[in-house]
Amino acid sequence: MNTDTCKHKGQLGNFCSECGEAVRKKCPECGAMELIGRKFCDVEVRAAEKCHQEYRDSIGDLRVGTGFVLALLSLLVGAYFLLRFESISFLLTVPISCCFLGVAWQCVALTRIDKKFAIDFPEYMEALDESGYWKSNI
């Protein structure tokens, strides 16, 4: 970890292990020890992560139901083609392609949710970007 004060990578508690320079200070908002040079404290980052998860969960119920309906529809279409026609190999591509379209629709829906979250809560976006939340959860 490179700090703004001494540029060493080692850390022992709240101090640099090589020169003894302080690498953490007490956050004035939450009182926790935070790295020197951070724009947001861990409390703000956790609040942003919680808000994003709640936002995603509130919209997610419709996506799950729609995915189930698409899967059921593709199953019914596949069963119809199996019973109606003798040429199975070509006609089974229709329900399989419906499943792939459903997966693609889910990915587009998740991207739209994240963009809408960015518009609705711009104050949280910088905190989530700095913490690396987007790389690990999306």
Summarize pLDDT for 78-109 with one digit per residue, the tens: 777 777 776 666 666 667 777 777 777 777 77
Tens of pLDDT, residues 44-85: 777 777 777 777 776 665 666 677 777 778 777 777 777 777
Q: Which two tokens stand for residue 36?
A: 């020197």
SS (H, E, C) 28-97: CCCCCEEECCCCCCHHHHHHHHHHHHHHHHHHHHHHHHHHHHHHHHHHHHHHHHHHHCCCHHHHCHHHHH
Q: What is the pLDDT of residue 54?
A: 77
Task: Please report, rounded to a whole number, the percentage of residues in the chain having pLDDT higher than 90.
Answer: 0
Listed by start position, the domains of the chain span: 1-38, 42-137
Backbone angles phi, psi at 24, to 5 degrees: -130, 150
Sign of CA dihedral 57, 62, 65, 70: negative
Asked if the model's pLDDT at residue 3 lies above 60, the reply is: no
Average pLDDT over residues 33-53: 68
Question: What is the rounded CA–CA span in Å between residue 77 and residue 59?
Answer: 28
